Homo-oligomer: A and B are copies of this chain.
Amino acid sequence: MILNDKDIIDLEQRYRTAFINSLAGFRQAVLVGTKSVNGDTNLAIFNSLIHLGANPALLGLISRPDTVNRDTLQNILDTKEYTLNYIQAAHYEKAHQTSARYAKGVSEFEKAGFKELYHPSCKAPFVEDAVVKIAMKFEQSIDIPLNGTILIIGRIMQVEIADSLVGPDGFVSLSEAEILISQGLDAYFVAKAVGRLPYAKPTV
């Protein structure tokens, strides 16, 4: 099929959302842990993690003001601290459950069945079972006026991961730990290795 921009606008709304969101491809599933100024904890699944740079080590997240993730955004802006947690694919149902619209003050940790873990480095809660635990410090938010989304940029303050998953060259073997991948709003996957390649050089 070939759809042009007008065809896309004419699609039924739910169909269009599922189509464009899944068309955007595979992405890292990440559970974002935050704590409100009142001390309420919050956990939300995001699929918009962006690598911005290694030095300084910056990661981005896209937030929409109109979604369930607005508590997460508010907590990040208020407290400047948040955690990024990668989990094994076996926990995908619990991870998906964090996307439900719970009332403010209800913790998705408890409702979805994840245990909070704290480390002196960060006021926000980590997911105890997470294979990768990253403490983040909020650096900047950038408004995207075209559709009202916000790019949240943070700096990595701490990374916790098993030694066995980090190779001698620094490569983090997430596939070995069967880390959860997402696509669209509701589809989950694990990665099957195809190969690693040397730095590409021009050929004659």
Contacts and interface: CB of A to CB of B under 8 A. Distances in A.
Interface string A156-180: 1111111100100111101100011
Query: Copies per complex?
Result: 2
Contacts of A171: 18-19, 22, 184, 187
A149 B18 contact: no
Interface stretch (A2-10, A34-42, A70-78): A2-10
A20 B89 contact: no
A86 interface: yes
Nearest to A100: B200
Interface residues of A, number: 106
B174 A183 contact: yes
Given A16-B170, A25-B86, A111-B203, A188 B180 contact: no
Contacts of A58: 146-147
Contact of A19 (B56, B170, B194): B170
B188 A196 contact: yes
Nearest to A4: B158
Contact of A1 (B59, B98, B146, B161): B161
A155 B146 CA distance: 10
Contacts of A26: 26-28, 174, 179, 181, 191
Which has the most chain B C-beta neighbours within 10 Å: A11, A48, A51?
A: A51
Interface of A: 1-5, 8-9, 11, 13-28, 30, 47-59, 62, 64, 86, 89, 92-93, 96-103, 106, 111, 121, 132, 134, 139-140, 142, 144, 146-147, 149, 151, 153, 155-163, 166, 169-172, 174-175, 179-181, 183-203
